Structure 1
Amino acid sequence: MTLKLSRKRWNLLWKIGGTVAVLVIVACSVTIDSVTQPASVNGGGVLNVTLNATIITNSNPTANLMVAFLAPKVWNAAANAKLTFTSNISNGPQGMSPIPTTTPAPNGNGLSWQTDLMNTIGHAGNLIPEYEWVAFYSDQQYPTSDNSTYTVTVNIQVPVGESNLLFNMEYVVAESNDGLHSTVFANWPPTSYYSAFIPTTPLRVFGQGTLVDFIHPQLSVVTPSTALDNDIIALPFNAGLVNNGLTSATSVYLCATGYTSNGDSITVCQQTSKTQLQPNGTGNWQIDIWPRGFFNVPAGQTIDSLHYFFTDATGATKVGYAGGSSPFTFTFNCQ
């Protein structure tokens, strides 16, 4: 889209922990009249977000509206989310569809919208790399007129699954001509053609299993967060995050107990190559395990949950959750 933007005026109103930025098809002035997003959702429920925007245009091109949001991968939001909008230049609810990952973003040097959003906008400070950008285009392109005012209401519905998590949502809206990097007019930076905002309050999903806290630094978080005992899982250890008995350790080992479906427990707590973590940067360690093999689980049984510590080479120094004496925990689950 070729357009020249005058100064944009952003008036943001966020409610119940939700803030969403909107840049629309073509505008010299965009006002978000209201944004409503709940602070929490129960597991298995639907996150409902409503955006109300006023758009004042200063040229008359035709383009698709693009709305994107950052979400946990476990939601599979590209397949499960539903986006619609209404406006004063359309009749009734207008559909939006996921943008395929093979569709290049305009002015994105061949990158997909999803990759361009990640590289340009980032990940909203989420620390566990199990997030993704999900982008939608309006199903139709819409012509606009010079010096006209439009009102748009966007409705976003995202099933959040059963995972128990705390996550920073982020929203971006742009359009299908300029994307995130337009330099059509030298006096206006690329950021004039899109906008992004992170809600002031993280979204809490009260789901099942261990809390997956994307927000706060953790000594150890099992990834992927949804896994069964027959999957490969990673157990990292950030020894330098808080002062603990292994902060200066030169070798670190896993001491773990698996709890089986029939009520038994299997403990592996030895300082051998089987349990030794590998260095992964200064103060960071990691071990990848196949739980069934690691615990030598008998046929007909499964590992339902995991309690674990990290130890030094002697086994005498043991570090658990928050650097203390309680174990880290993980509940196996698959959505």
Structure 2
Amino acid sequence: MKIVRKICLTTQRLAHWLIIALSSTLIVCCVFLDSVDQASSVQAGEVFEATLTAHVNAAQERSNVRFVIGILLPRSWRAAANTKMTYTSDFGSGELVQIPSSVRAPNSGNNLAWSPALMNKFGIGPNLIDDMEWVVFWTREQYNIVNGDQVEIDAKISIRTGEQNMRFKVGYFVGSSEDGLNDFLGGPGALYKSMFSSCFEVTDGEGDIIDFCNPPQTFLTPFRSSDNDILTLTFDREILPGPLGDDIFLCATAELADGTFKEVCQQDAHSRLTLLTGTRGRFEITFWPRQHFALTAGESIIRLTYYFTDASGAIKVGYANSPDEPFTHTFRCD
């Protein structure tokens, strides 16, 4: 038993010194995302501004390194073409520019470009609608990092917003061109950092509010679609409990491009929703809008308004369980 214990203690010491050795060999710098200062809302079409503060504690010399900032935003903002970033730091000041798509993010697993690498790593964060993208920038200048450097960075971010009313949580990433998504000793985060804001709102814009922040009572997938796509409409009865039981039917009106309307509001198999297996109150219906509304060759749908009803049609549920305010969906395939 004593021999075994001695071997175990020796192994523990060896592992301890191995970790220290690896640490001194592999850690280049620790990156810290200290704060992000942004407004809680902005008017559609105006400029969204944020100030990001970060710092780096260098533990090894490196040459020709760029500081990297990524931002998660709705696709409709087209942020890659509408973003300006500048920075001031202890090692220099200047502009951040978009990283070319041909550049691969180090340690990204599948040798991905920076934007898909961040999406693969962080997804859309706490947002609930998968219609977002990471746009990634780095300093135009390259810098030499000296062992022991403690570098502070302040970045000013300005982005022209889209025109759509929406709520979402902005994602932020900071890292370096050398280390990328290196999860030191299993990480994550010594060599990069990420964070997400509270719910941010775009107001006074176009169309229905697209809410990425809060669980929706109902949603259509794919989110970007036309009336010629096969759509799945989901209704979650548990989000806001109401008067409907398990027999739920779709009652929908299509607004056509020529200004006319077509309604399908029948309590039959054609319009019935199905309870999803393993859920208490999530129902869905899959349909082809052109067939559902019997469109002719020259007709097209620009917008849907809809309710859910019981088997009799007497109980009707719309937005926030209101019988008077329908749910809405505007087709957008851009």
TM-score by length of 1: 0.76
Q: Which residue of 1 aligns with 2:255?
A: 259
Q: Which residue of 2 aligns with 1:220?
A: 218
Q: Any residues of structure 2 matched to 1:176-215 within 5 Å, and which?
A: 176-183=177-184, 186=185, 189-199=187-197, 201-206=198-203, 207-215=205-213
Give the 3 Å change call, closer, same or farther, for CA 29–163 of structure 1 in structure 2. closer
Distance 2:99 2:319 in 1: 39
Give the 3 Å change call, closer, same or farther, for CA 75–233 of structure 1 in structure 2. farther
Give the 3 Å change call, closer, same or farther, for CA 181–30 of structure 1 in structure 2. closer
Q: CA deviation at 1:162?
A: 0.9
Aligned 8 A contact 2:30 2:191 in 1? no
Q: CA deviation at 1:301?
A: 5.8
Q: Which residue of 1 aligns with 2:97?
A: 96
Give the 3 Å change call, closer, same or farther, for CA 224–47 of structure 1 in structure 2. farther
Distance 2:103 2:276 in 1: 34
Q: Secondary structure at the match of 1:285?
A: strand
Distance 1:324 1:280 in 2: 24
Give the 3 Å change call, closer, same or farther, for CA 275–179 of structure 1 in structure 2. same
Residue 266 of structure 1 aligns with an amino acid whose one-letter code is K
TM-score by length of 2: 0.76
Distance 1:189 1:331 in 2: 42
Q: Any residues of structure 2 matched to 1:142-153 within 5 Å, and which?
A: 142-153=143-154
Give the 3 Å change call, closer, same or farther, for CA 299–45 of structure 1 in structure 2. farther
Stretches of structure 2 lacking an aligned partner (at least 5 in a row)? 1-21
Q: CA deviation at 1:261?
A: 4.8
Distance 2:222 2:33 in 1: 39
Q: Which residue of 2 aligns with 1:82?
A: 84
Q: Which residue of 2 aligns with 1:109?
A: 109
Stretches of structure 1 lacking an aligned partner (at least 5 in a row)? 6-24
Q: Secondary structure at the match of 1:217?
A: coil
Residue of structure 2 aligned with 1:66, choices 59, 68, 78? 68
Give the 3 Å change call, closer, same or farther, for CA 26–84 of structure 1 in structure 2. farther
Give the 3 Å change call, closer, same or farther, for CA 234–139 of structure 1 in structure 2. farther
Aligned 8 A contact 1:212 1:225 in 2? no
Larger CA deviation: 275-284 vs 69-78: 275-284
Distance 2:168 2:321 in 1: 23
Identify the structure with the greater strand proportion: 2
Q: CA deviation at 1:189?
A: 3.8
Q: Which residue of 2 aligns with 1:10?
A: none
Q: Secondary structure at the match of 2:242?
A: coil
Residue of structure 1 aligned with 2:292, choices 291, 294, 313? 294
Q: Which residue of 2 aligns with 1:126?
A: 127
Give the 3 Å change call, closer, same or farther, for CA 73–287 of structure 1 in structure 2. farther
Confirm whether residue 238 of structure 1 aligns to residue 236 of structure 2. yes
Distance 2:51 2:191 in 1: 22
Q: Secondary structure at the match of 1:190?
A: coil
Distance 1:221 1:169 in 2: 21
Q: CA deviation at 1:198?
A: 1.8
Q: CA deviation at 1:73?
A: 2.2
Q: Secondary structure at the match of 1:322?
A: helix
Give the 3 Å change call, closer, same or farther, for CA 211–29 of structure 1 in structure 2. closer
Q: CA deviation at 1:72?
A: 1.5
Give the 3 Å change call, closer, same or farther, for CA 123–166 of structure 1 in structure 2. same
Confirm whether residue 36 of structure 1 aligns to residue 37 of structure 2. yes
Distance 1:191 1:86 in 2: 23
Give the 3 Å change call, closer, same or farther, for CA 31–231 of structure 1 in structure 2. closer
Aligned 8 A contact 2:31 2:56 in 1? yes
Per-residue CA deviations over 1:120-172 (Å, capped at 9, x if unaligned) read 43433211222232222334432112223434232323232111100011211
Larger CA deviation: 50-59 vs 121-130: 50-59
Confirm whether residue 323 of structure 1 aligns to residue 321 of structure 2. yes
Per-residue CA deviations over 1:180-235 (Å, capped at 9, x if unaligned) read 3333xx5x943211112222x31101121111111111111344555555565542
Residue 243 of structure 1 aligns with an amino acid whose one-letter code is P
Q: CA deviation at 1:70?
A: 1.5
Aligned 8 A contact 1:310 1:318 in 2? yes
Aligned 8 A contact 2:32 2:192 in 1? no
Distance 1:103 1:117 in 2: 13
Instruction: Kindly tell me the number of residue pairs found equivalent between the two proteins.
Output: 306
Confirm whether residue 141 of structure 1 aligns to residue 142 of structure 2. yes
Aligned 8 A contact 1:74 1:226 in 2? no
Q: CA deviation at 1:30?
A: 4.7
Larger CA deviation: 127-136 vs 288-297: 288-297
Q: CA deviation at 1:95?
A: 3.3
Aligned 8 A contact 2:85 2:155 in 1? yes
